[in-house]
Amino acid sequence: MSGQSSGCGFLMSVVVHGDSVLNEQEKELNQRLRRLYPAVNENETPLPRSWSPKDKFSYIGLSQNNLRVHYKGMTPRHTQAASRVLLLHRYMGIGLSAQGVNMNRLPGWDKHSYGYHGDDGHSFCSSGTGQPYGPTFTTGDVIGCCVNLINNTCFYTKNGHSLGNDLRQQSQYPNLYPTVGLQTPGEVVDANFGQHPFVFDIEDYMREWRTKIQAQIDRFPIGEREGEWQSMIQKMVASYLVHHSYCATAEAFAKSTDQAVHEELASIKNRQKIQKLVLSGRMGEAIETTQQLYPNLLERNPDLLFMLKVRQFIEMVNGTDSEVRCLGGRSPKSQDSYPGSPRPFSSPSHKASSSQPYLPGFDSNCCNGVTSNKSHSSSPHSHKPCPPGSGSTLPASDISLNGSRSQQPISSSDVDMEVDHFTNGVTESSSNGFLNGSSKHATEPDDCDADMEVESAQSKRQLCGGSQAAIERMIHFGRELQSMSEHLRRECGKNSANKKMLKDAFSLLAYSDPWNSPVGYQLDAIQREPVCSTLNSAILETHNLPKQPPLAQAVGQAAQCLAIMARTGSGSCAFASVDDYLH
Amino acid sequence: GICNGETVSVIIVLMQEVTATSRHYVDRLFDPDPQKVLQGVIDMKNAVIGNNKQKANLIVLGAVPRLLYLLQQSSSSLELRTECSVVLGSLAMGTENNIKSLVDCHIIPALLQGLLCPDLIFIEACLRCLRTVFISPVTPVQLTSTIFDIPCLISKTQEYITQIFSHCCKVFTPEHQTVLFNHGAIQNIAPLLISPSYKVRMQALKCFSVLAYENTQVSMTLVNVLVDGELLSQVFVRMMQRDQPIEMQLTAAKCLTYMCRAGAIRTDDSCVVLKTLPCLVRMCSKEHLLEERVEGAETLAYLMEPDVELQRIASTTDHLVAMLADYFKYPSSVSAITDIKRLDHDLKHAHELRQAAFKLYASLGSNDEDIRKKITETENMMDRIVSGLSESSIKVRLAAVRCLHSLSRSVQQLRTSFHDHAVWKPLMKLLQNAPDEVLVMASSTLCNLLLEFSPSKEPILESGVIELLCSLTQSDSPALRVNGIWALMNMAFQADQKVKGEIVRCLGTEQLFRLLSDPDTNVLMKTLGLLRNLLSTRPHIDQIMSSHGKQIMQAVTLILEAEHSIEVKEQTLCILANIADGNTAKELIMTNDDMLQKIKYYMGHSNVKLQLAATFCISNLIWNEEDGSQERQDKLREMGFVDILHKLTQASDPNLSDRAKTAMQQYLA
């Protein structure tokens, strides 16, 4: 959860200022940014939320939480370029630039810098001479900038109207920041990075592209040769059913699709039996059965055995393990109610792949708005937004500059505005919206446990089912586990995962109500699934069968591909989510 | 003779045979055995398909009432009822006379009644027949609206019903709109906009676009309609979302455009400025079908025609002005080589594209000088207009001349691009032989080209345009008369004696005075303007007054005595003032006591403009440095003008009091 910690780091600056209203705004901002940049992982590539107080020229002042930019040069400086029409027009530019460009110049004039200037409406592309692009803009106008990473185009907007693609600004440089440049004393520009709804209907624009991308996916040509595609799908389904030991279904499916099953039915049934035991919390029996059916498996995998034993300990605390149940005087037979169906795609390996961070996609930086108030000539200075973090690279940003108006006219006498230097970039405190394997499970309805005894225990849960004998058994088992752990360490060396597992499990005893303790999640039936899946994979491996079904692998791979696309700045991945295709 | 007789008899025999078989079909409909009746109807169905003569025969022999009877009988089997409606539908597909006969037999209520039956196949057959009847031009529109008499329409039939309407819509007139409106079309169709079926939604939307077009009553009602708690305009806005099918976006944009033009939605409403306009601009982009681009451009042109702010926004949205230049690139050189099918498609739409682009340019440039400049600077724009003026397609010619007219409102363009491209040449050619609608636009453009500062004025004069313009003043169309006389007026402004003489000679005094009694005020105003321009500079005044003085004075008297607007009277008094400026022409006023009384009257009028013009006239008459000024001053003093002038020197209007003071000084000197 590195996202959370880095988010907290950002949040600090807000808390220091103690502005609760701002917190609300931040929340809205974060929500909007998440909608606008569905594929951006801000842990890797934070989005700009305000102007950077570092990347600016000294004549530029910042205020309003680094969202308002003003020009505070007192005496107009005459540079060659600036001496033209200053008495008539606002010298102001909006655009994009790479980090490290000259901050003493308007965006667009230098290399790796692009801009749209208000005085002549021209577009500047790393050059001092502009090309006619759009209308001029001045006080009160709201100017926006949007970079589309799908077709690599950039367009500006004025008062909510798209001015059309700027053909010269094909943004091949991925690391561009929204930039604004001013050179008129008293000039003020307010920026909107998503703090407020954008005047231009960017959501509607995104809808169009989402539809386009999805149509592209739907129309993607598959297998030319007849039947090939179908038989491949059938194989995948069959292997999935076998993997998760849905014997009857797998058999029926194989029969109707005329396929061979690559595992003996008896073997599938054995695995099914073990899985049922694990998923219903009867770990002792599960271990025993595994040892009977696959004599050498656990001996060869001491770490696996240790994991199973730790789980058994947890189930003892829970009161569900067979050993403590007997002591609790309940019939072990009555608990056979777990449906025994592993959830789809819950194998650990898939989890690993889907928890890969998802990256950017479509738009990224939204900023801006322009208000200008004074016209006197002076030299240009650029100003860039917060660099997202030292050394981090901004995902080839879609910059959606857009702005809000400032209503305060500032006379030339009070140009010397106070400048507040503070950062308030804030990252979302929860994870960035994309669900990884485990969190996804947590949101699923927990139907499996519906009619188990555990349910009754939940209303009046007691340690080990409330039996004193069971508690003693559990404590004894704990000691055995401890010695097993020590033994393992001597034999195989230190294993931090094992150590943590054991520590977490033992921590349950530190609380009077373990279920409601910070470590209580371990008691949740959902935690049986990774254990079950790992055991299943280990059994399959001994039979030289894949430890992960091809279907899950395909899903994982698709998710991984999207993550790579996102990292390389391929925008269309923002509108393609694997989840959209899993119904 | 004998031969002819034989032929005739053969034909008669044939006719009898045909009628005999037809008779047989009808007879079978009356068989007591229902099974035989059914077989009879099926045979009849097969016999009439594609056979108009057979259809006519059966109708004459009275098959229709019997079929309708069978169709309505609840004792008839569903199969029989269905076959009956199929045969009726087939009969309806024949001539217009067939439809008339069917309607006369009250087929519509019978079929509508059939819609209440639960059987879908039967309903479908009824609806198919109804559709054929409804979309026929001979069916009275009042009957079409009876479709709303059906109390509840089951969902499956909604699609057919809306289809019927969108078919009907193609022949809609304002009368149709009103009838449908009065029959509750809006309330009935509105709920269909949120139907789960795309087809139904789309057909309902089309219905609204046709109902709202240039209809204030419908549009005003539409803005207040709620569909499932949501305002109709918001439903339309949702239908314009960029992920909706293009057809739906476009039609929804049309609906809002028509509502806006009908005055039901303000042009600065955000649903127009931020939704409809950008949507229509998008429709013009290259990525859409040619038909969509045509419709998008035409609708956008219509939307912003009266509003300069919308024109300004559109002109900077998505490079629209440059985007439209692509409309002229069909068929492209690529399509000619690569693909004959595409070439054919492009060719078919090329005219439509060009005229749509011209229309949109015309609308864009109708008010704003900067936009006009932008348009004329678009690649080859003036060349395209010039060639558009002589295209074979009348639609393109009309649109091109509209575009030219719009651009001709610019002084700068008249001085530069219009002259550089000699647009007057094709324009003059267009004026020689064109339908009225083209003539109106072309002559209106010519008016601007004849403005004094236009460098095209000289070559146009030399091309012998006067005769043409004079003939326009005799047109039945008021718009053409106005343009003709307007052009002559512009032409006469500061023109030399020769041109003025030519105008008077060519127009003829008779026509000139006929125009002065034209029922159209615009014509009258421009004719007075022409007179005023003719009567400027002293030698010209004296010359024209010496030849036409009597008639002119008569016309002036008539106008001043008749009921006319202030503007007309003012213009007339200005003419009088010009006459008073002549050397010899003065006498025509001085010797006309009645006219002097009139001037006196207007000097005391409640309207300052008229007072000013009349005072100007007197001032000219008493001007000192001219021969006989003393006599004139004396006469006017006797008539009491000095007193009036004296009073006017105290007028609150500074212009009037100045003018009066200047006149008084003539007496003092």
Interface of B with A (CB under 8 A): 241-243, 274-275, 278, 313, 316-320, 323
Q: What is the DSSP letter of A343?
A: P
Q: Residue B165's pLDDT is what?
A: 64
Is the sign of the CA dihedral A378, A379, A380, A383 positive or negative? negative
Location of structure tokens 């003996």: A264
Torsion angle (degrees, nearest 10) of CA B390, B393, B399, B404: 0
Q: Is residue B449 pLDDT above 60, yes or no?
A: yes
Q: Which residues in chain B touch residue A208, judged by CB atoms under 8 angstroms apart?
A: 242-243
- What chain B residue is nearest to A211 in terms of C-alpha separation? B243
Q: Is residue B148 pLDDT above 60, yes or no?
A: no
Q: With bands split at pLDDT 50, 70 and 90, how would you rate the model's confidence at B15?
A: low
Q: Is residue B593 pLDDT above 80, yes or no?
A: yes
Of B589, B634, B585, the closest CA to residue B614 belongs to B589
Spatial separation of the C-alpha atoms in residues A48 and A387, rounded to whole Å: 7
Q: Residue A332's pLDDT is what?
A: 42
Highest mean pLDDT among A12-21, A89-98, B418-427, B625-634: B418-427
Half-sphere exposure of B335 (CA within 13 A, CB side): 13
3-state secondary structure of A96: strand
Of A442, A436, A430, A428, the closest CA to residue A579 belongs to A436
Least confident window among A97-111, A461-475, A509-523, B73-87 = A97-111
Average pLDDT for residues A237-254, to the nearest whole number?
A: 86
Q: Which tokens belong to A256? A: 């109707």
What amino acid is encoded at A539 in this protein? I
Q: Residue B530's pLDDT is what?
A: 93
Instruction: Check if A339 contacts B (Cβ < 8 Å).
Output: no
Contact between chains at A205 and B318 (C-beta distance less than 8 A): no
Domains recognised in chain B with CATH numbers: 1-139 (1.25.10.10), 535-668 (1.25.10.10)
Q: Is residue B68 pLDDT above 90, yes or no?
A: yes
Per-residue model confidence as pLDDT tens digits over B160-180: 666 666 665 555 577 778 877
Q: Is residue A5 pLDDT above 50, yes or no?
A: no
* A189 to chain B, closest Cα gap in Å: 22
Q: With bands split at pLDDT 50, 70 and 90, how would you rate the model's confidence at B418?
A: confident
Q: Which residues in chain B touch residue A160, judged by CB atoms under 8 angstroms apart?
A: 274
Per-residue model confidence as pLDDT tens digits over B374-390: 999 998 899 999 999 98
Q: Which tokens belong to A518? A: 């910070």
Per-residue model confidence as pLDDT tens digits over B290-302: 999 999 999 999 9
- List phi, psi (to 5°) of A179: -140, 145
DSSP letters, B534-576, are: HT-SHHHHHHHHHHHHHHHHHHHHHHHHS---HHHHHHHHHHH
In DSSP terms, A113 is beta-bridged to A97
Give the ipTM: 0.74
**Size of chain B, expressed as the number of residues it contains:** 669
Half-sphere exposure of A424 (CA within 13 A, CB side): 26
Q: Who wins on pLDDT, A20 or B541?
A: B541
Spatial separation of the C-alpha atoms in residues B607 and B564, rounded to whole Å: 14
Per-residue model confidence as pLDDT tens digits over A28-37: 888 888 888 8
Q: Is B544 exposed, middle or buried (0-12, 13-18, 19+ CB in 10 A)?
A: buried
Q: Which tokens belong to B597? A: 């009384």
Per-residue model confidence as pLDDT tens digits over A106-136: 778 888 888 898 888 998 888 888 888 999 9
Element (H, E) at A366: strand A366-367
Q: Residue B18's pLDDT is what?
A: 60
Contact between chains at A161 and B241 (C-beta distance less than 8 A): no
Instruction: Give the nearest partner residue to B316 out of A163, A201, A207, using CB atoms.
Output: A163
Least confident window among A174-188, A512-526, B654-668 = A174-188
Let me know: does A344 contact A463? Beta carbons within 8 Å.
Answer: no
| Cβ contacts of B370 within 8 Å, gap of 6 or more | B315
Let me know: does B491 contact B458? Beta carbons within 8 Å.
Answer: no
Q: Is residue B368 pLDDT above 50, yes or no?
A: yes
Instruction: Give the nearest partner residue to A207 out of B241, B274, B319, using CB atoms.
Output: B241
- What chain B residue is nearest to A165 in terms of C-alpha separation? B318
Q: With bands split at pLDDT 50, 70 and 90, how would you rate the model's confidence at B445?
A: very high
Let me know: does A320 contact A282? Beta carbons within 8 Å.
Answer: yes
Determine how many CB atoms are found less than 10 A away from the CB of residue A152. Answer: 15
Please give the mean pLDDT across all residues of chain B.
87
Per-residue model confidence as pLDDT tens digits over B609-649: 999 999 988 888 888 777 778 888 888 888 888 888 888 88
Q: Residue A170's pLDDT is what?
A: 59
Please give the mean pLDDT across all residues of chain A.
71
Q: What is the DSSP letter of A45?
A: S
Alpha-carbon distance values, A211 to A551, B51, B243, B586 (Å)? 26, 50, 6, 81
Spatial separation of the C-alpha atoms in residues A351 and B587, rounded to whole Å: 110
Q: With bands split at pLDDT 50, 70 and 90, how would you rate the model's confidence at A328?
A: low
Q: Which residues in chain A touch residue B242, judged by CB atoms under 8 angstroms apart?
A: 204-205, 207-208, 211
Q: Is residue A347 pLDDT above 60, yes or no?
A: no
Least confident window among A412-416, B318-322, B478-482 = A412-416
Q: Is residue A351 pLDDT above 50, yes or no?
A: no
Spatial separation of the C-alpha atoms in residues B53 and B360, rounded to whole Å: 50
| Percent of the residues in chain B that have a pLDDT greater than 90, as a whole number | 41
Q: How many CB pairs under 8 A join A and B?
A: 35
Q: Residue B172's pLDDT is what?
A: 59
Whole-model pTM: value is 0.72
